[in-house]
Chain A
Amino acid sequence: MILDASSALAAVGAAQRDVELALERLHAADAATWTGPAAAAYTECRDAAVVTAHAVERELRVAREQLRAFVAECDIWGAVPRGYAG
């Protein structure tokens, strides 16, 4: 599989799904009824994690576009046919 250039795209897609999943769970992990100083620190840390996850999500979208062009050129130059190492 590693010989197929398009597998890079698939890997980035999988990374995007993982990050979406992480974001979904971070959103679910709100302090809810837990209150007080420890809960405030928890919320602050969770919010920072959510911001980081959103940034990663955006960067992965850009990476995917770049990799799509990269894979298309590989196909034009007649590299190993798609699915060769399947």
Chain B
Amino acid sequence: MSRNLLDDSPAPRLTVHVFDGRTSVDTDRLRELTRLLDAVLAAVRGALLDLTHARAVVHLWAMFAPLNAPGALRALDDAARRMASLADLERRVGELRAQTVAALATYEEADNAARAVIARQGSLVSRYTGFLLGTVLPVLGVPRWFVPAVGGGLLLVDSVGDAMRDVPALVNMQRHLRSGAGLLNPIVNPSGVVSTAVGPQRVGRMAPVQFLASGVLDATGLDHFNGSVDVWVRDPLTQARYRSSVGGWDVITQTAVPIGASVAVARLTSVSDVLRRVRGAARESARTGLGRIELVAQTDSKGATSWTVVIPGTSEFVVGANPQDLLSDLQLMASERSDLMLAVKQALQMAPIGEGDTLILAGHSQGGMVAAELAADAAVNQRWDVAGVITMASPIGQVTGVPADVPVISLENVDDVVPALDGLANTVGGNHLTVQFDSDAHTALLGLHDMRTYEAAWAQALADGATPRLTALDATVRGSAGWADPDATARVYTFEFARSERGQEFLDTLLHVGLGVR
């Protein structure tokens, strides 16, 4: 019998911090409030002492004022009640102060956690890039002098980071990434211009991580082989392929996928269901070695159909036939065109999605980057109603242009370096919400980048009601997708894809130098 690790664990708890662009706190203001409340307490205690004094005097002189004795007695009683009122006030203010101090501690802890993660992120980014440069470039025949030059630059970047430990981490990281980019610029890109999905961009206008990714792609020429993929859906009975072929960015053949190519599945009821499907798609992609996304068409009792696009993350950690690989990671990070985006968009074209149908986009890691890019694509928004984007562990800070009214929920484990690789804060405000969580127990049990860690975090963030914004956005997505309808039916279209033709030339080159996989 299979056992669920989560069920066996001693109920690990998560701490969820929410950065939604609406909840904000100024810790200096909280300290000021604490000082003010201390002063209130001092004043109340002073008043209590004064009343005690007055009461004692009235007691002493009561026998010398027979006419006003009853009034004096009432005054004593009233004074006693007043003291009770003041004591009540003191109690309330004491509670107020305790709450404020607790809030201050919570916010400072969250702030420190975020700073620690960001501080680690800078070092990891440079080491990750160093690893790529040190292993990939010599094999591709890049001159030997280049690697130590870059490596030296990265070491300098790290040491600058160490020396600046007391500087606010975000500023620190951005500064030394920028200095790293400055060092690399004349070496890897003397022209200072890189090609991106939105046309040529001057590197000076790009964020450092995006520039580093562009620089690596330009220097290696890895991005010259894009634009050729095969995308298909297998008929569940005959295994015949409904296929689309793209070569040199031009569509060569395209076959519409009939409804018969789909398989009936259990209807989706929540984001958790979608996250589980993402995990299942990743497992299948790893098994087949092919790129894979799933489109779940859910039709409610009124006939309205919503489409949930399920996009798993990187499955090839070298460069291969499956475009869900490291090359696509670099291209997505650099906002450049990629075979992966080409394949996913081609799948959307082939599927029988009606004009104006609702789209929910969900992905893990690289899949979340693809989901965000799709949501930012004007053509996609023009043709369909993008009603929700769910990303897990995805660096999407570089993605701009997702309409503010489209609900975007980004889950990030503060110990997971992947969502921080963009070196940029996610866009917040409007309907865009980033939920960061800290879970030592889940991370130790399942892994910091593991989808199950993210699934558990999602479930707990919702159950705890981490923020009304999260609850509201979750309800909005479920409502738009029609997942609440118990009479809805669901069918899944499984799209597979691989690089082809011109891509084959590229794959042969990689294979020749010992980097590629079939």
The distance from the CB of A56 to the nearest CB of chain B, in whole angstroms, is 5
Give the CA-CA distance A29 to B167 in the complex, in Å. Answer: 31
Return the contact of A55 from the options B50, B85, B95 (Cβ within 8 A): B85
Instruction: Report the nearest A residue to B465, measured CB to CB.
Output: A37
Known contacts A34-B26, A56-B89; is-contact A67 B100 (Cβ 8 Å): no
Q: Which residues of B contact A62 (CB under 8 A)?
A: 78
Known contacts A7-B57, A63-B79; is-contact A77 B24 (Cβ 8 Å): no
The distance from the CB of B61 to the nearest CB of chain A, in whole angstroms, is 4
Contact assessment for B85 and A56 in the assembled complex, using a CB-CB cutoff below 8 Å? yes
Q: Indicate the size class of the contact surface on chain A.
A: 35 or more
Known contacts A8-B54, A12-B54, A56-B82; is-contact A45 B72 (Cβ 8 Å): no
Give the CA-CA distance A1 to B327 in the complex, in Å. Answer: 88
Contact assessment for A15 and B50 in the assembled complex, using a CB-CB cutoff below 8 Å? yes
Contact assessment for B467 and A18 in the assembled complex, using a CB-CB cutoff below 8 Å? no
Q: Indicate the size class of the contact surface on chain B.
A: 35 or more
Q: Does B472 contact A (CB under 8 A)?
A: no
Give the CA-CA distance A47 to B457 in the complex, in Å. Answer: 35
Q: Does B33 contact A (CB under 8 A)?
A: yes
Known contacts A67-B54, A74-B65; is-contact A42 B79 (Cβ 8 Å): no
Q: Which residues of B contact A25 (CB under 8 A)?
A: 36-37, 39-40, 43
Q: Does B64 contact A (CB under 8 A)?
A: yes
The distance from the CB of A45 to the nearest CB of chain B, in whole angstroms, is 4
Instruction: Report the nearest A residue to B45, measured CB to CB.
Output: A18
Instruction: Report the nearest B residue to A53, measured CB to CB.
Output: B89
Main DSSP-derived SS at the A contact region: helix
Contact assessment for B64 and A77 in the assembled complex, using a CB-CB cutoff below 8 Å? yes
The distance from the CB of B426 to the nearest CB of chain A, in whole angstroms, is 18
Instruction: Report the nearest B residue to A34, measured CB to CB.
Output: B25
Return the contact of A39 from the options B25, B37, B58, B75 (Cβ within 8 A): B25
Number of A-B residue pairs having CB atoms within 8 Å of each other in the complex = 171
The distance from the CB of B415 to the nearest CB of chain A, in whole angstroms, is 24
Give the CA-CA distance A16 to B50 in the complex, in Å. Answer: 9
Contact assessment for B65 and A73 in the assembled complex, using a CB-CB cutoff below 8 Å? yes
Q: Does B51 contact A (CB under 8 A)?
A: yes
Contact assessment for A5 and B64 in the assembled complex, using a CB-CB cutoff below 8 Å? yes
The distance from the CB of A36 to the nearest CB of chain B, in whole angstroms, is 4
Instruction: Report the nearest B residue to A32, measured CB to CB.
Output: B29
Give the CA-CA distance A22 to B90 in the complex, in Å. Answer: 10
Q: Which residues of B contact A79 (CB under 8 A)?
A: 61, 64
Contact assessment for B43 and A33 in the assembled complex, using a CB-CB cutoff below 8 Å? no
Q: Mark A42-70, 1 if CB is under 8 A from B, else 0.
A: 10011011001101100110110011011
Return the contact of A5 from the options B51, B53, B57, B100 (Cβ within 8 A): B57
Return the contact of A11 from the options B50, B71, B74, B86 (Cβ within 8 A): B50
Return the contact of B24 from the options A11, A35, A63, A69 (Cβ within 8 A): A35
Contact assessment for B65 and A18 in the assembled complex, using a CB-CB cutoff below 8 Å? no
Q: Mark B71-110, 1 if CB is under 8 A from A, else 0.
A: 1101100110110011011001101100110010010000
Instruction: Report the nearest B residue to A20, measured CB to CB.
Output: B43
Known contacts A21-B43, A22-B89, A49-B92; is-contact A36 B23 (Cβ 8 Å): yes
Contact assessment for A28 and B36 in the assembled complex, using a CB-CB cutoff below 8 Å? yes
Known contacts A3-B60, A66-B78; is-contact A77 B44 (Cβ 8 Å): no
The distance from the CB of B126 to the nearest CB of chain A, in whole angstroms, is 35
Known contacts A52-B88, A52-B92, A79-B64; is-contact A34 B54 (Cβ 8 Å): no
Q: Which residues of B contact A55 (CB under 8 A)?
A: 85
Give the CA-CA distance A67 to B76 in the complex, in Å. Answer: 10
Q: Does B251 contact A (CB under 8 A)?
A: no
Q: Which residues of B contact A5 (CB under 8 A)?
A: 57-58, 60-61, 64-65
Give the CA-CA distance A65 to B200 in the complex, in Å. Answer: 83
Return the contact of B43 from the options A4, A22, A74 (Cβ within 8 A): A22
Contact assessment for A52 and B89 in the assembled complex, using a CB-CB cutoff below 8 Å? yes
Closest 7 CB pairs of A and B: A36-B23, A18-B47, A15-B50, A11-B54, A8-B57, A73-B65, A22-B43
Name 21 A/B residue pairs within 8 A (Cβ), A-sorted: A5-B64, A8-B57, A8-B61, A11-B57, A15-B46, A15-B54, A29-B37, A33-B26, A34-B33, A35-B24, A37-B467, A39-B25, A45-B96, A56-B86, A59-B78, A59-B82, A66-B71, A70-B61, A73-B66, A74-B64, A79-B61
